[in-house]
A and B are shown apart, each in its own frame.
Chain A
């Protein structure tokens, strides 16, 4: 099968990559661009480990074809902290502080979903927080400290305690 050429913006940089017509965005990121922070847990949109932002919205990158990404803007876990103090998005920092990380394999996906969620719903109560990350499976933590982390980040952002650097 002949390869195709895709041009897109990834984490603020314009990139062009050769890929197979059947390659997913996940495969493009991991195997063509070497951005291995985005994980494959199932490859069929059931676990959320591959969550990235496409044009500012959280998507399962295993369900998006690379060919669909021409001209799109993609943000991965590697680019999420850009512009935030210490290179850490408030959600990333909160996950470290509350002990929300165990094996870490689901974490990039959950952090992307959570970052998306608190941007949209800065007033989300715990019940709402649950729903916002319900598409991301975690087998280690029981989610308790993940909820704590998201709420901590939500409150800090809502109170203006942490802002992107200029």
Chain B
């Protein structure tokens, strides 16, 4: 394999015992393990914890987009009542650094601030009020520097340097070699010139997508507790306990065994609790280090909005060609992601963007060039979809333009070019299994009544209201892929008790998606236990294996496989014991529901409970650790090709919109989302992901926009940053399509991110169908729709008749 670097052996499953066919828990709509605690209000989140002697921390953030820090005056704050410490960058006992892809993010700005919201000081006091009052007494002398807020300006020679060149670990997403360019990535396939030469129709267009704020209902929060044995315990909301672990050890300058991180109830993540919790924990830990007391930091909604990461705004220039019959011939794209002031995860967000730019279609020729760019604005990082919403909006919009030029229905254009098993993606990755794209197209069209509505809405009108139906499709590479494989592994610990109950510990995080429930279902299936007999525990880094981040829709697959690995080891012991009980060789036995039975004579069986009791008495090993690596992936930066991800999920969204052509207001009437997720371990939870992701996608499509002026966020609250309410939730139909993946537990592929990804173009394609106006930028606010209608000379259809 070209440019593959080191290869990783796959952990092997126990060869003697194939996974049992799902019989009683996998695939069932079982109730969440944490549902009861959450409806009773007893589930505990970051700010619900308290500790004796607890102090409170308030951060002083930069008010300048770009400035030299000349002095930080803390005397007045130190003298304020109740204040225990006032800390700045020089107070870090270890390194003033939050390690991510590139080593550029400081815990607190030392001599230069790069955005409005860069932490410059921290005040620790007896009460939140005292910390708040004292923080206002900290004075910072700034010498303003020229700032840059636009990606294209930032790359011009002579632009203010936000991010100087810096190197990251080799192979870890790349280094920025030019000022303000975090990284540049290309995807190259086939002969582009020949592709456009062969085209009968070529469409070229520019698209823009906005910031999006995670708007999780629980803001960031952490408490660090110094323990008597010299260990710093960190409690809080997060997706990646081991990122926090590494960061806190680094900031405090202690070996990692002096830190333990315990994830507590996490009130929404969506990527927003991937990287930035390390900053919150680092600050709390610094406070605890200097005061010797527990220190809590919980951000206010405004602070969270203004300083925490966002979805990257993007500029996309896209050109596509096709033959008269609709056969796609070439795709050329240039992409700029606005990464803000620090690299954080931008290099890997860009990787996902460029590798997904060509979508689930067959293209003979592709050339994508992507740039992740630094500006003096809030850093952008992980957000559900991770760089894909931007390229999907462009691609799915331009495919509809192409379809119109060709006189082909958008659904037929997609069906004609959809990838199947045996095809290669734009990255030239060959698809060998589990490609359910066409079925998602067919199912979504059928369930939504796409063709019939497309026809009916052509002439539909009611006063100023027009209706349209539109499509938005996508594929999604499951897991961290080739640029993230250096941290891609999972572990699990499974302990079976003599009474037939079972404890499972995993290193991935429950943040509402239902991971603990799904893991319990898998363990119950694997060990022949009732679901109620399995408890899956939240992570404590001192007790669970580093399982990488809980991101990239990877946890069901990765943690699920690690749990299967552990359960397989225990099952071998159970079958040996059952073999003695039944007088047959263990190989002749299988686990079925809550029994062990003879394969050839299923009526000969023993209850799993009895087997476990005897096995425990015989002192068999009923506890095991599981460990898994993903299937190997690789990427060649030079060739712009590779096996970018181990497997892909596919989806089709059909959106029905009603537009008031007088006001430009769009209302989504219905949304159908068909997802090929390999296998739904728990269909209710999978639907929950689809429904929730779809509504977040509608927010991105219609209302959500962060307004930034000279680096200052102007709408940092729910009253001005508009996320969908119950009134905005349309009829949502989640359709699950199952093309099993041989490398996933019971065929599962993952479902966390895809639901949000293809919504925006489905909406704007429907608006185009309804009004005749094409939006090249989202969200589709009434202003934008009205302007587009005016600019494109589209009279409201049948206006004369009104």
Judge whether B726 is part of the interface by a CB distance below 8 angstroms: yes
Interface residues of B in 35-68 (CB under 8 A from A): 35-45, 47-48
Within the complex, which residue of A30, A37, A43, A97 is in contact with B300, where a contact is CB–CB below 8 Å? A43
Is the beta-carbon distance between B39 and A39 smaller than 8 angstroms? no
Is the beta-carbon distance between A105 and B217 smaller than 8 angstroms? yes
Residues of B within 8 A of A49 (CB): 217
Judge whether A99 is part of the interface by a CB distance below 8 angstroms: yes
Is the beta-carbon distance between A142 and B719 smaller than 8 angstroms? no
Interface residues of A in 19-76 (CB under 8 A from B): 20, 30, 35-44, 46-47, 49, 76
Is the beta-carbon distance between B691 and A137 smaller than 8 angstroms? no
Is the beta-carbon distance between B511 and A103 smaller than 8 angstroms? yes
0 or 1 for each of B84-120: is its CB under 8 Å from A? (1 = yes): 0000000000000000000000000000000000000
Residues of B within 8 A of A37 (CB): 40-42
Is the beta-carbon distance between B216 and A139 smaller than 8 angstroms? yes
From B727, which residue of chain A is reached at the shortest CB distance? A134
Is the beta-carbon distance between A46 and B218 smaller than 8 angstroms? no
Nearest CB in chain A: distance from B679 CB, A: 18
Within the complex, which residue of B32, B41, B270, B727 is in contact with A139, where a contact is CB–CB below 8 Å? B270
Within the complex, which residue of A76, A107, A134 is in contact with B726, where a contact is CB–CB below 8 Å? A134
Q: How many A-B residue pairs have CB under 8 A?
A: 167
Judge whether A106 is part of the interface by a CB distance below 8 angstroms: yes
The answer to whether A46 and B718 touch (CB under 8 A), given A37-B40, A105-B218, A141-B691, is yes
Segment at the interface with A among B254-262, B411-419, B682-690 = B682-690
Label chain B's interface by main secondary structure.
Answer: loop
Most B-side CB within 10 Å, residue of A77, A130, A143: A143
Is the beta-carbon distance between A107 and B38 smaller than 8 angstroms? yes
Nearest CB in chain A: distance from B577 CB, A: 37
Q: How many residues in B have their beta carbons less than 8 Å from beta carbons of A?
A: 55
Within the complex, which residue of B31, B40, B512, B687 is in contact with A81, where a contact is CB–CB below 8 Å? B40
0 or 1 for each of B236-273: is its CB under 8 Å from A? (1 = yes): 00000000000000000000000000000111111000
Is the beta-carbon distance between A42 and B35 smaller than 8 angstroms? no
Residues of B within 8 A of A144 (CB): 687, 691, 729, 732
Residues of A within 8 A of B37 (CB): 104
Is the beta-carbon distance between B215 and A101 smaller than 8 angstroms? no
Is the beta-carbon distance between B684 and A99 smaller than 8 angstroms? yes
Interface residues of A in 90-130 (CB under 8 A from B): 92-93, 95-97, 99, 101-108, 111, 130
Within the complex, which residue of B34, B38, B267, B694 is in contact with A142, where a contact is CB–CB below 8 Å? B694
Is the beta-carbon distance between B41 and A76 smaller than 8 angstroms? yes
Within the complex, which residue of B38, B47, B214, B511 is in contact with A40, where a contact is CB–CB below 8 Å? B47
Interface residues of B in 689-736 (CB under 8 A from A): 691-696, 717-719, 723, 725-727, 729, 732
Residues of B within 8 A of A8 (CB): none
From B32, which residue of chain A is reached at the shortest CB distance? A101
From B686, which residue of chain A is reached at the shortest CB distance? A99
Nearest CB in chain B: distance from A133 CB, A: 5
Within the complex, which residue of B36, B513, B694 is in contact with A102, where a contact is CB–CB below 8 Å? B513
Nearest CB in chain B: distance from A144 CB, A: 4
Judge whether B642 is part of the interface by a CB distance below 8 angstroms: no
Q: How far is the CA of A20 from the CA of B133 in the complex (A)?
A: 15
Is the beta-carbon distance between B29 and A99 smaller than 8 angstroms? yes
Is the beta-carbon distance between B39 and A92 smaller than 8 angstroms? yes
Name A residues whose Cβ lies closer than 8 Å to a Cβ of B. 20, 30, 35-44, 46-47, 49, 76-78, 81, 87-88, 92-93, 95-97, 99, 101-108, 111, 130-131, 133-147
Sampled A-B contacts (21; CB under 8 Å): A37-B40, A41-B218, A42-B717, A88-B40, A99-B29, A99-B687, A99-B688, A101-B35, A101-B39, A102-B688, A103-B266, A105-B218, A105-B265, A134-B726, A135-B725, A139-B214, A139-B268, A141-B692, A142-B729, A142-B732, A147-B729
Extra 17 A-B pairs, beta carbons < 8 Å, given A105-B268, A139-B215: A20-B129, A42-B717, A96-B36, A99-B29, A99-B685, A99-B687, A103-B216, A103-B217, A103-B267, A105-B218, A134-B726, A139-B268, A139-B696, A141-B695, A143-B691, A145-B691, A147-B729
Top-4 shortest CB links A-B? A37-B41, A103-B512, A105-B267, A104-B38
